[in-house]
Amino acid sequence: MNLTYLGHAGFRLQSKEGVIYFDPYQIKKPINDGDIVLVSHSHRDHCDPESILAVSKKDAVVIAAQNAAAKASAQHSVSEGNALSVGGFKITAVPAYNTNKPFHPRGFGVGFIVEAEGKRIYHAGDTDAINEMMEYGPVDVALLPVSGTYVMTAPEAAEAAKLVKAKLAIPMHYGEVIGSKDDAVFFKKLLERLNGKVVILNVGESLDA
What is the model's pTM?
0.95
Residue 167 has pLDDT above 90, yes or no: yes
Instruction: Kindly report the average pLDDT of the chain as a whole number.
Output: 94
Closest by CA position to 153, among listed 127, 132, 119, 120: 127
Is the backbone peptide bond immediately before 138 cis, with ω within 30 degrees of 0?
Answer: yes
Q: Which residues pair with 145 in a beta bridge?
A: 172
Give all domains of the chain, ordered by start, each with its CATH number: 2-201 (3.60.15.10)
pLDDT digits (tens, 9 = 90+) for 48-94: 999 999 999 999 999 999 999 999 999 999 999 999 999 999 999 99
DSSP code per residue over 154-193: HHHHHHHHHHTTEEEEEEES-SSSS--HHHHHHHHHHHHH
Question: What integer pLDDT is reported at residue 179 of this predicted model?
Answer: 64
User: What gap in Å lies between CA 184 and CA 26, rounded to an integer?
Assistant: 20
